[in-house]
């Protein structure tokens, strides 16, 4: 287990290269630094981020892995545009875990896939020594990422997971980002045939638990793929419940 670095330091973290160079003025061998910088966003170089990346790379296919990385990058870019200063390490964890509940291993429950994703993230963080307040913040950011109109009023690490998802999946806020930034992100993490493939992934992750889509945009996905799917209706639920008038 390890202790997470202070949030103020996260944006300035750098990755050390394996090679080194000699300082011509001092004759000393010094370590050189390289930065994983995509569209001006530095990927935090911490033990936690490295382990999250490895964990999600093993758990998700290319579609979801590259989508999750784009969610982090677009979320960070939207945060910069809005003048927000998120803890990039926590934002990274939220972005990387947000769709884990769609994968075969994690989609076996009868709760919302967002909750499966959030539970897995919180468990991972607690096991890695992250304090409960930060773990709960990541949980909430993931759990709310398909609930528009709410996350934007919460802390940046919560709001910007949704902002990243909205940019990559729905195109919301896409035109607010510079074309060069969009090009850099999609060059690093391509999105071939993404629209159809992500809809298929949503369907695969929810079709066995249709009741969990009540009151969410997820019902739209099942309605698109399954002609026999009938969404629960909020008004009908009010009018037909057992309360007498």
pLDDT in tens, 109-135: 999 999 999 999 999 999 999 999 999
- Output the pLDDT for position 29: 38
Q: Which domains does the chain have, with CATH numbers?
A: 42-234 (1.10.3210)
- Output the pLDDT for position 5: 44
Tell me which residue of 66, 85, 81 sits closest to 168, measured CA to CA.
Answer: 66
CB atoms inside a 10 Å sphere around CB 166: 22
Give tens-digit pLDDT for 154-208.
Answer: 999 999 999 999 999 999 999 999 999 999 999 999 999 999 999 999 999 999 9
Tell me which residue of 174, 147, 151 sits closest to 74, measured CA to CA.
Answer: 174
As beta bridge partners, residue 104 has none
Q: How far apart are CA 86 and CA 138, in angstroms?
A: 12
Tell me which residue of 105, 28, 94, 95 sits closest to 61, measured CA to CA.
Answer: 105
Give tens-digit pLDDT for 62-71.
Answer: 999 999 999 9
Q: How far apart are CA 66 and CA 197, in angstroms?
A: 12
Q: How far apart are CA 3 and CA 13, in angstroms?
A: 15
- Output the pLDDT for position 35: 66
What is the residue-averaged pLDDT of the chain?
89
Q: Please give the sequence-ordered ranges of beta strands (E in DSSP) within the chain, or none if there are none.
A: 15-22, 29-34, 37-38, 41-42
Tell me whether strands 15-22 and 41-42 are parallel, antiparallel or unpaired: unpaired
Contacts of residue 17, Cβ cutoff 8 Å, sequence gap at least 6: 31, 32, 33, 34
- Output the pLDDT for position 13: 37
- Output the pLDDT for position 21: 40
- Output the pLDDT for position 245: 87
Full-model pTM: 0.86
Q: How far apart are CA 197 and CA 55, in angstroms?
A: 22
- Output the pLDDT for position 18: 36
């Amino acid at each position: 287990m390890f202790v997470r670095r202070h949030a103020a330091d996260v944006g300035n973290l750098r990755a050390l290269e394996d090679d080194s160079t000699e300082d011509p003025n001092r004759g000393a061998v010094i370590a050189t630094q390289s930065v994983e910088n995509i569209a001006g966003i530095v990927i935090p170089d911490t033990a936690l981020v490295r382990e999250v990346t490895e964990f999600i790379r093993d758990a998700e296919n290319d579609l979801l892995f590259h989508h999750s990385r784009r969610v982090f990058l677009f979320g960070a870019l939207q945060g910069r545009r809005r003048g927000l200063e998120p803890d990039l390490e926590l934002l990274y964890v939220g972005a990387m875990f947000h769709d884990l509940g769609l994968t075969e291993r994690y989609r076996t429950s009868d709760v919302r896939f967002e909750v499966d994703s959030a539970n897995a993230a919180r468990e991972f963080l607690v096991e890695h020594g992250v304090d409960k307040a930060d773990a709960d913040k990541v949980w909430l950011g993931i759990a709310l990422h398909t609930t528009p109109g709410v996350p934007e009023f919460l802390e940046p690490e919560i709001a910007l997971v949704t902002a990243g998802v909205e940019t990559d999946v729905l195109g919301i806020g896409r035109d607010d980002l510079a074309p060069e930034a969009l090009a850099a992100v999609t060059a690093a993490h391509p999105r071939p045939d993404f629209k159809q493939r992500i809809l298929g992934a949503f369907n695969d992750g929810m079709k066995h638990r249709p009741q969990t889509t009540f009151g969410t945009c997820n019902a739209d996905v099942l309605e698109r793929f399954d002609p026999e799917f009938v969404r629960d209706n909020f008004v009908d639920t009010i009018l037909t419940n057992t309360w007498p008038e």
